[in-house]
Chain A
Amino acid sequence: KQEVTQIPAALSVPEGENLVLNCSFTDSAIYNLQWFRQDPGKGLTSLLLIQSSQREQTSGRLNASLDKSSGRSTLYIAASQPGDSATYLCAVLSNFNKFYFGSGTKLNVKP
């Protein structure tokens, strides 16, 4: 069974710092990997989707990479802002069309 792990569970950084969030998965047979943002009391907002054949995706200050063979993905946030404070979740879609989520990294960017 696929297991998705996100480390660290929580992270606090000063404004302006560049940071990396990590996601690892145990089964490399995935179709795609998606990064989400979740604000308190809200649903999930999709940030980036990486197909299994891709190595990375970029959107603004966000860059997500995927190393399928090692079962790892990273989300890089450049020049962090207080508005980036939220919980970040990664999810993998297995080749059996099943979704598996990590438990998230709670990010706090201090002004």
Chain B
Amino acid sequence: EAGVAQSPRYKIIEKRQSVAFWCNPISGHATLYWYQQILGQGPKLLIQFQNNGVVDDSQLPKDRFSAERLKGVDSTLKIQPAKLEDSAVYLCASSLRWQTQYFGPGTRLLVL
């Protein structure tokens, strides 16, 4: 069974630039999550999708972050414009509803 795929693995940008991350969940997993993990901290949930509908985006900074999940499969997370404090690892995970989450390798973002 293929795992959760994410790309790119690393990204370096300057502040005020835009960036996008892509996630492909495990086949058949209806629930998809995006997390932000700052160094030394646990992951913080940014947004949760059930199929292509948003279940929870209460911690997503909507003035600069956006996410979509077209056709209930792949998802993209975008930051525009980026700030220095957005430097973090962005993790994507998927699950069957309310069950074990499976994580991708993450995208490490550095904003200069």
Contacts and interface: CB of A to CB of B under 8 A. Distances in A.
Contacts of B43: 44, 89, 91, 101
A97 B98 contact: yes
Nearest to B33: A99
B45 to A, nearest CB: 5
A43 B106 contact: yes
Contacts of B42: 4, 89, 91, 101-104
B14 interface: no
B91 A49 contact: no
Interface residues of A, number: 23
A36 B33 CA distance: 16
A45 B102 CA distance: 7
Interface in B13-43: 33, 35, 40-43
Interface in A67-111: 89, 91, 93, 97-104
Nearest to B108: A41
Most buried by B among A32, A41, A49: A41
A93 B100 CA distance: 10
A25 to B, nearest CB: 12
Interface in B34-91: 35, 40-45, 48, 55-56, 91
Instruction: Tell me what chain A mostly uses at the interface: helix, strand, loop, or mixed.
Output: strand
A43 B103 contact: yes
A42 B103 CA distance: 9
Contacts of A49: 99-100
B26 to A, nearest CB: 12
A90 B48 CA distance: 19
A54 to B, nearest CB: 14
Contacts of A36: 103
Nearest to B41: A103
Contacts of B48: 97, 99
A97 B57 CA distance: 12
21 contacts: A34-B100, A34-B101, A42-B105, A43-B91, A43-B105, A43-B106, A44-B43, A44-B91, A44-B93, A46-B101, A46-B103, A91-B42, A93-B98, A97-B55, A97-B56, A98-B45, A99-B33, A99-B48, A99-B101, A103-B40, A104-B42
